[in-house]
Chain A
């Protein structure tokens, strides 16, 4: 018997739009799994921006000059802004700000593991900008073309601002590397601590990343974790060489045939351990977030009460 030609299902129509690079907007039909994946990814991204303020906030009062302090303040303010762009994008999918924050505070939602490492020296402000934001940019630039419109638009804004973050970090590193022997040593020591955790930022290896395939199909992701990790290494090694710093990887070697660097294996046990909450600062970071949220509760309530009171007064004035 001949199979009758069926009208395309909503899923097929959706995939056809994705394949034609048509952006999906908030009120468009989308598969539940697409919506859930995006809410998870965007809110996780927003949480990372928010928690990411903590390791740098740690150094604002101890920045070595007023110039550095102003720059660091502006950068931390940007991170807050990035978090807000992203929370707004996630809200267009039907979740609420309160729900997302509750998930962060309960530990249900994740954020980038990199922020569970401590910022021990001033050079860490250099490494966070240069390496961590460098890795973030590689992750984020392809997201400017992600299939969900509000997410893509938020990322365009984030990327425009992120490049200053990386440059100021590089400048901190460069200044230390051109300074005294002790300063240069501080820069090297910092690189030693941040290099591997930064490589982990791209997520598990492709064969251990079950969500990648579907995310690529939906064009939420445009590159795999390993592709981005390789790009990052190729980009950063010459910059480290320029600074006169040694990348802490004995297996790091230029591969002429591949036209790329070969590099050692990331310690995945450490990665998963930090993801599961056992990193050096997981507890401290979450506690700081919860505390800030709880201590700000009266401000949020008072602002709302004030707005309601004013509205009531205006209503009376209009009626009179």
Chain B
């Protein structure tokens, strides 16, 4: 058996104009054009999208889940970044 598996691509779909592209899954394709076409057939058979992005999976770099706690820690103790941290008198409107 030859080693000729098509590369893996991650598929992102914009479900409608004005929304972000969102990751929906992955597929195999020989090149980008085929990946877009396959993505249409696999992920938008019922008008789920108006635009497709494909990215070869090997190009995706991710944060390490084992270090997630430390990695996201800096945001954990900064409650003052949220509007609910501040007491606004009841009589103040439009804030």
Query: Residues of A with Cβ closer than 8 Å to B?
Result: 25, 27-29, 74, 77-78, 81, 84-85, 88-89, 91-92, 96-98, 102, 153-154, 157, 161, 300-301, 303-304, 306-307, 310-311
Check: B72 CB closer than 8 A to any chain A CB.
no
Q: Which of B2-10, B73-81, B87-95 lies on the face that meets chain A?
A: B2-10
In whole angstroms, how far apart are the Cα atoms of A170 and B84 in the complex? 53
Question: Contact: A27 with B25, CB < 8 Å?
Answer: no
A-B interface, 10 closest residue pairs, ranked by CB to CB distance from nearest: A303-B30, A307-B31, A307-B30, A88-B26, A27-B65, A28-B65, A98-B5, A304-B30, A84-B42, A88-B25
Would A300 and B26 be within 8 Å (CB), given that A77-B45, A84-B42, A161-B46 are in contact? no
Question: Contact: A85 with B31, CB < 8 Å?
Answer: no
In whole angstroms, how far apart are the Cα atoms of A28 and B8 in the complex? 20
Would A91 and B8 be within 8 Å (CB), given that A153-B25, A306-B30 are in contact? yes
Q: How many residue pairs at the A-B interface have CB separations less than 8 Å?
A: 57
Would A304 and B6 be within 8 Å (CB), given that A85-B42, A310-B31 are in contact? yes
Interface residues in B, total, Cβ within 8 A: 23
Question: Contact: A301 with B4, CB < 8 Å?
Answer: yes
Chain B residues lying within 8 Å of A304, measured Cβ to Cβ, are 4, 6, 30
In whole angstroms, how far apart are the Cα atoms of A311 and B34 in the complex? 14
**Nearest Cβ in chain A — how far from B57, in angstroms?**
9
Check: B64 CB closer than 8 A to any chain A CB.
yes
Question: Contact: B1 with A102, CB < 8 Å?
Answer: yes
Chain A residues lying within 8 Å of B47, measured Cβ to Cβ, are none
Identify the interface centre among A81, A84, A161, A306: most chain B CB within 10 Å of its CB.
A84
Check: B55 CB closer than 8 A to any chain A CB.
no
Question: Contact: A91 with B4, CB < 8 Å?
Answer: no
In whole angstroms, how far apart are the Cα atoms of A85 and B34 in the complex? 17
Chain A residues lying within 8 Å of B70, measured Cβ to Cβ, are none
In whole angstroms, how far apart are the Cα atoms of A311 and B30 in the complex? 11
Offer 24 A-B interface pairs, CB within 8 angstroms, sorted by A. A27-B64, A74-B45, A77-B41, A77-B45, A81-B41, A81-B42, A84-B27, A84-B42, A88-B26, A91-B26, A96-B5, A153-B25, A157-B24, A161-B46, A300-B4, A300-B6, A300-B30, A301-B4, A303-B6, A303-B30, A303-B31, A304-B4, A306-B30, A310-B31
Query: Residues of B with Cβ closer than 8 Å to A?
Result: 1-6, 8, 24-28, 30-31, 34, 41-42, 45-46, 62, 64-66
Chain B residues lying within 8 Å of A78, measured Cβ to Cβ, are 45
Chain A residues lying within 8 Å of B45, measured Cβ to Cβ, are 74, 77-78, 81, 161
In whole angstroms, how far apart are the Cα atoms of A280 and B27 in the complex? 33
Identify the interface centre among A29, A88, A96, A300: most chain B CB within 10 Å of its CB.
A88
**Nearest Cβ in chain A — how far from B41, in angstroms?**
8
Closest A residue, CB atoms, query B26: A88
Chain A residues lying within 8 Å of B66, measured Cβ to Cβ, are 29
**Nearest Cβ in chain A — how far from B42, in angstroms?**
5
Chain A residues lying within 8 Å of B64, measured Cβ to Cβ, are 27
**Nearest Cβ in chain B — how far from A14, in angstroms?**
12
